[in-house]
Amino acid sequence: MINRIDVYPTHRHGDTWLRAGRPYPFGATIVPGGVNFAVFSRHATSCTLVLFRRGERQPLIEIPFLEAFRIGNVWAMVVFGLEIEEIEYGYRMDGPHRPHAGHRFDPNVVLLDPYARAITGRTRWAEPHEAGDPAPFRGRIMLDDFDWQDDRQLEIPAEDLIIYEMHVRGFTRHPSSGVKFPGTYAAIREKIPYLLELGVNAVELMPIQEFDELESDFHNPYTGQKLRNFWGYSTVGFFAPKAGYAATGALGMEADELKALVKLLHRHGIEIILDVVFNHTAEGSEKGPTISFRGLDNRTYYMLRPDGSYQNFSGTGNTLNCNNPVVRNLVLDALRYWVSEYHIDGFRFDLASILGRDAEGHPLANPPLLELLAHDPVLGKTKLIAEAWDAGGLYQVGSFPAYGRWAEWNGRYRDTLRRFLKGDMDQAGEMGQALKGSPHMYLERGPTASINFVTCHDGFTLNDLVSYAEKHNLANGEQ
């Protein structure tokens, strides 16, 4: 018998054995004998891998990447002999700190890997970070060993979809839900009979990519209580499921719990659509925290003004530079991952018009990212739904660049229906158009380009829709 050695160490750092890694795929990938770490930065001058033992505050070891481990603009290294399920990791990036030129490197900050498949720090809902933790968000190495059996995307025709928008926590948090683990992926499983009774065949989950519910600076004006980011439209990591939504999150089993939910929904003929937020990140404006992208390569990942400050077409302080080729690949890699590893049936893109802007924020006639997603082979049967506007005033309902694939949230259908139900004058003609699939807007693309919705998380609740003349949510502290 011949013992074959495919990968062997060539370098050493203390007691840890290393070798030059592969620059792709990005992130932390299990290879024979170790883990391949690959991270992009065009403008950094050096990179250090920071390894933690799970749950410990201080690093286990910090390993600088050798220049020989850099290929182009990617730092890649294999670390041997790691206890994969006991390791957490991050990076330190050194480079120029010249905000006016768009560079915000700080080697004192341990940065989260944008490609981390699992993230620690928010494993229990609203549990505070430990004070003084040098790396409140860390990557974990994911074992993709879930048994899907014969599960696959359902591919329900668009014209047959009855979509129920759902907040994972809010859907079962109240005691009246009667579930074993309120506010979790697991709890939704118990409510499948209820969804079937309603006639629902697709659930659209509000953001489940990891976010920080404690980031909000707003207070309830009536009670003074500090508010939380309940909705989650402020992504920390695009590849990692929200651990605080899992009954098993503290055990690191959030991925399996979510996959079990998807598998059971599919078994009952219900598709799962994810609301994804690629227009901005949780790092906010210049005053926001440095978590990941800002410290890795600020100029690449964000739209910047000439003075280095952030463009803000999202209304949240920053805008992701979506049509930079590196960022385009990040979005594509993330969506492919959710489809291939989680069997997701579709995506609703928050403020999708931003995805069609160039680095200066100008709308593109032929946006590369939107075309890329429309024609990607892995996403070939995946539903792509645009919220066809943004906070910068770009409104594209009826004219979103579709490439024969994109559907749109039809906000005009919602507004027409509300006016008609209220009894406003001269609405019969508009309502007739809406009921026919809005042919005045989608004549060439057909009625399935229109996602007709009555209410959603923005605006009126279904009860308020027929009860109030104008919005009256003052308790969120945002006026």
By annotation, the residues acting in catalysis are: 350, 387
**Contacts of the segment 214-222: beta carbons below 8 A, 24+ positions apart:** 214/126, 214/128, 214/129, 215/282, 215/289, 218/476, 218/477, 218/478, 219/477, 220/475, 220/476, 220/477, 221/474, 221/475, 221/477, 222/475
CA 434/CA 306 separation, integer angstroms? 44
Q: What angle do CA 448, 451, 457 make, to 5 degrees?
A: 170
Structure tokens at 159: 């014209």
* Closest among 200, 373, 189, 183 to 273, alpha carbons compared: 200
CA 413/CA 406 separation, integer angstroms? 17
Sign of CA dihedral 32, 37, 42, 43: negative
User: Are residues 283 and 318 in contact, defined by beta-carbon separation less than 8 angstroms?
Assistant: yes
CA 32/CA 217 separation, integer angstroms? 46
Task: Give the DSSP letter of residue 64.
Answer: E
Structure tokens at 117: 């498949």
User: Are residues 63 and 46 in contact, defined by beta-carbon separation less than 8 angstroms?
Assistant: no
User: Are residues 395 and 353 in contact, defined by beta-carbon separation less than 8 angstroms?
Assistant: yes
**Contacts of the segment 211-216: beta carbons below 8 A, 24+ positions apart:** 211/122, 211/235, 211/236, 211/242, 211/282, 212/121, 212/122, 212/137, 212/236, 212/282, 213/122, 213/125, 213/126, 213/244, 214/126, 214/128, 214/129, 215/282, 215/289
Q: How far apart are the first and last CA of the chain?
A: 74
CA 12/CA 14 separation, integer angstroms? 6
Task: Give the DSSP letter of residue 394.
Answer: -
Q: How many residues does the chain have?
A: 479
CA 194/CA 265 separation, integer angstroms? 12
SS3 sequence of 147-164: CCCCCCCCCCCHHHCCEE
192: helix, coil or strand? helix
* Closest among 170, 207, 202, 269 to 453, alpha carbons compared: 202
**Residues 6 or more apart whose Cβ sits within 8 Å of residue 198:** 162, 164
